[in-house]
Structure formats: C-alpha cells, structure tokens
Structure 1
Amino acid sequence: MALSLLERFVEEVNAASVDAVIELGDRISDESSARDRVLEQEVAERFNELSVPHHHVSGNHDVALLSLADNEAILDRPSGSRTLIIGEVRCVFWQPDVTLTRERGLGLSPGDLDDLVRMLAADDRPTLLVSHVPLSGHEQTGNYYFEANPGHATYAEIAEIRAAIAGAPCPIVALAGHVHWNTLTTVDATPHITLQSLTESFISGDAAEASGMIEVDADELRWVVRGREPVSIALPWRKTKSRWRAPLPSFVATGLH
C-alpha cells in the first residue's frame, strides 16, 4: 500500500496551503542494493510530484545497503546535516550515522555530535530539530519493535546528545520518526515528538496512514497527526531558551525525606 498511500498524500498536499514537506526517513525496507535502488526511485518519483519543496533525512533502512550519497542522488535532494529556513521557521536537519546492527544498536560516528553542537549554537532563534532517530531516549514499553531492543531505538550517546540540546542557546522542538508510533516526550524543557509512518501496522493491524501537519503561529506550535491513530498537540513556540532547575540529589544520599 505504500505507493498508493504516498500518492494520496501528495494529492492532499498539492491541494492544501503548506510551505514544505519534511520526510523523516525509512522510505523503504531494505532487501538488496539493486532492489533498494528501484524502491527508492519509485518513492522519489512520487515526491517529485509535490508542488512544494520537500526535505529529507535518511533512516537506517535507507542506508543499510545504499550510501547516503546514493540516497541523495536518487532523491536529487540533500540528506546530510544542514540548516534551512522553511516559511519563517529555522529548521536544523541532523543526519548522524544511522547504521543499525544487532550487536551495537545505534552509535554516533566521529564528528556527528560536533555537527549537532555547531548547528544549534549558530543561532538563538526558535528551532525545529529534525532527525530520523528520536533524541529523547524515551521509554519503549509496549513498542512492538523496541521494548525488548531499547538500544535500537536511540543512540548509545543519548546523554551527550541531550546535554548538547540542553546547552544550545536556541529553544528547540525536536521531530523524529524511527520508533513507529506517535509520541510526545519532554526532556529538560525540550519537547520531542515522533511520527508514525503511512504504512505502520503494529498497533491496529492496518496501515496507519499517518501524516503530520506542523503549524507555527506566534507563540504556539500545533502538531496534528491524521490517520488511524490521530494526535493533536499544542506546544509553546518559545522565543527564548527555557531550562528546568537542576534536579534534587538522591534522597538516600542526602538523608532528605
């Protein structure tokens, strides 16, 4: 159902008034390098029917048997780390290593964290931070894929990633895919949202048909997901960085009650 659902999505976008489409990766389920090229090309052809710009990050399935350069060539779009202005919103696209192995899960490559710190530090304006893998490290209890495989749902360096986000001068809302469900998690005053996919079926048994709409207006970001598992969320679109107070130390260690 993937291509027919994508075609319907493209029709709906072309009939609406939007600034751009952001695609969060895992456009295919990897099979072989030759087959993956065919599948990616079929997806790219549908995206090329959009009447608005489209922006991409690549997921672990996209680069399992193809390179990031292969993906960029097929899409005719960049997929690496970069900063864009979409509408009036500053968007940071972070493309760290998403190579996933059963043994190690997900881990950053040299320079990946430096790229994130550099891009976030470059501007103090409100920022939408886009990645394939969620950067919250949120709980996966009940997740069909990741409850028993939490190391595959986030990076081994999640503590360093969250510290980079907390230390950035800009207020951030983070957007990701990968974990196959719609979630909202807040970490150190930063909201993290994840989007289900068009074809995900582990919750209901049917394709989720999920797509999300982000609207930013003055001091509010609205996130609306359509499909079989709809979600509607309004979040502050802060103009200045908000930080929570440092947590209390251990009650046991301090003797507090």
Structure 2
Amino acid sequence: MATTRIAVIGDIHHGQDTPTKRGSMALPLLEQFVAEVNNGRFDAVIDLGDRISDEDPERDRLLQSDVAMCFAKLVPVHHHVSGNHDVGLLSLADNEAILDRPSGSRALTIGDIRCVFWQPDVGLTRERGFRLSAGDLEELVRLLWQDDRPTLLISHVPLSGHAQTGNYYFEANPGHAAYAETDGIRAAIAEAPCPIVALAGHVHWNTLTTVDGTSHLTLQSLTETFISGAPAEAAGILDIEEERLRWTVTGREPLSVTLPWPKTRTRWRAPLARFAKAAVG
C-alpha cells in the first residue's frame, strides 16, 4: 500500500477583520497554501468549511468566489464540506455552484483511503446551537455501514463532544461547538463496522480526542489569532500508510502526532455507571 498524502485546510474566514480573525489576510495565506501544495506531492486537498465570514448574501457570493478562484489553481483535486458561515446567508446549493464541487454527504476514495464526508445541518445563530435536521443521523449511519474498510470521517463540526475549557469562543458556549445529538452521533460511530478517524474544524484550535477507541482530530483556523495574537496560518498534512496515520499541522501552532490506522474495529467496554449508584461491597 502506497502512502496517501492529503493536504487539509479549514476555517479560512475570508472577509472583514475581527478582534480575533484576520479575514483580510485570508486570500494571501490561501494563495501561499495553494502554492505549497502544488509544489509538493499530494493526492488531494480537503477543505473543512467556513471559507468566509458571512456579511450579506451579495457580499458572501463575492467572498466565496474569491476563495473558489484560489482553490481552482490547485493541481490536486479538492474536496469540501461547508460550515455555518458558508450557509449563514447562502444555501448549500449556492456553495456547490460557486465551488463547482459537491459539498453534500458522500463517500469516496482518495488514493487508497476511504473517506466519508458528512454534511449535516450546520445552521447556527447566537441563540441556537447546532442541531441535526431530519435524516442527518440516518445518512451518517448509512454511509458508515456501506463498507468495513478503515474510514476517514470528515465534517465541519467536531463529533467527539470534547471539552472546550479555555476556548475563546466556546468555553461558555459549548452548544455552539457540538451537536445537541452528540450522544446519538457517538453511538453511530461506535457501532459502525469500520475503524474510523474523524477530522473536523470549526473550534479554531488543534486537538486530539479519543472516544470509544476512535481518534478525533480538529484543525486550527488559517486566520485565527486568539492563541498567538497573529494569524495561525494553520494547514494540515495527513500521511496514511499501512496501519499508521501521521497528522502534521504547520503554522504558528505546529503539531505532529502518529496514530493507528487499524484494519479492524476495536470495541471498548461500556463505561461504568456512576459510582454513587453502585452497590456497596
């Protein structure tokens, strides 16, 4: 099995500057990413969504078109999911038309790697946290049960339900960092026949979380500043070969981890009940 190499980028947030995001630097940083990918050897590029910071429908179309023109310069094929900012004022169909690429839920093969792109409802407001729409969870189950090969599961919103302690945006707003139906999502992943590594964006920091034997990775935003004070310039590289996955993040907040890429599913024991409910021995 040859090494499959995938470049990953997310949360580009092209648009206006905010106190924590340098949207005005998004395009130059994206152009730099594209040049580096084209000068390397990659089988594909994955975009984790939130390509823009939404403003109004007309402006959002222009911002998305700017980003799409950068992606069009890539030599490797590029694959996308859409985030809450991408569909804040545009539809998923609008995003697909501008990118000239699908953004819905689907399964495909990149190199030797089976990939599942899950595109549930990513609608979000300050008042409303993430909630699945009818059929979203069933679609995830359907895609995961199609094949028992090791699977890279890609979404915009993290699926681990990991703690947001210390996160600038989400420590006080955890419902905006995960789905209300995280327990159902966790069960769907745990019960699937395929070994899974999950990859997401949205939360604007690099994390590794293990839940029920499944590794969950998140990638920092390209333009986020809340950790270092300057744009993170984050980009990820996935190298997958045989039974090993190596995840490398470049930029101001570098990270490198090596994880199993197992051929068969492992099952963890169900967690114990609360100790207070246990019989006294």
Q: TM-score band, normalised by the shorter chain?
A: over 0.9
The unaligned stretches of length 5 or more in structure 1 are none
Match of 1:159 in 2: 183
| Residue-by-residue CA offset, 1:1-46 (whole Å, 9 max, x unaligned) | 1000000000000000010000000000000000000000000000
Shift of 1:209: 0.3
The normalised TM-score by structure 1 is 0.99
Tell me which of 232, 254, 269 is aligned to 1:208.
Answer: 232
Tell me which of 129, 146, 157 is aligned to 1:133.
Answer: 157
Q: Following superposition of structure 1 onto structure 2, how do residues 92-171 of structure 1 map, counting pairs within 5 Å?
A: 92-171=116-195
Q: Tell me how far apart the structure 2 counterparts of residues 195 and 256 of structure 1 sit (CA, whole Å).
A: 45
Match of 2:84 in 1: 60
Amino acid corresponding to residue 113 of structure 1 in structure 2: L
Match of 1:226 in 2: 250
Q: Tell me how far apart the structure 1 counterparts of residues 198 and 34 of structure 2 sit (CA, whole Å).
A: 24
Match of 1:47 in 2: 71
Shift of 1:248: 2.0
| Residue-by-residue CA offset, 1:186-245 (whole Å, 9 max, x unaligned) | 000000000012111111110000000000011100000000000001000010001111
Shift of 1:103: 2.3
Amino acid corresponding to residue 169 of structure 1 in structure 2: P
1:71 equivalent to 2:103? Answer no
| Residue-by-residue CA offset, 1:93-149 (whole Å, 9 max, x unaligned) | 000000002222110000000000000000000000000000000000100000110
SS at match of 2:144: helix
Tell me which of 39, 46, 51 is aligned to 1:15.
Answer: 39
Q: Tell me how far apart the structure 1 counterparts of residues 50 and 133 of structure 2 sit (CA, whole Å).
A: 19
Shift of 1:246: 1.6
The unaligned stretches of length 5 or more in structure 2 are 1-24
SS at match of 1:59: coil
Match of 1:239 in 2: 263
Q: Tell me how far apart the structure 1 counterparts of residues 274 and 50 of structure 2 sit (CA, whole Å).
A: 41
The normalised TM-score by structure 2 is 0.90
Q: Tell me how far apart the structure 2 counterparts of residues 35 and 234 of structure 1 sit (CA, whole Å).
A: 41
Tell me which of 178, 184, 200 is aligned to 1:176.
Answer: 200
Q: Tell me how far apart the structure 2 counterparts of residues 201 and 211 of structure 1 sit (CA, whole Å).
A: 15
Q: Tell me how far apart the structure 1 counterparts of residues 60 and 273 of structure 2 sit (CA, whole Å).
A: 50
Shift of 1:256: 5.1
Amino acid corresponding to residue 107 of structure 1 in structure 2: R
Shift of 1:84: 0.8
Percent identity, please: 71
Q: Tell me how far apart the structure 2 counterparts of residues 28 and 122 of structure 1 sit (CA, whole Å).
A: 33
Match of 2:218 in 1: 194
Indicate the RMSD between aligned Cα atoms, in angstroms.
Answer: 0.8
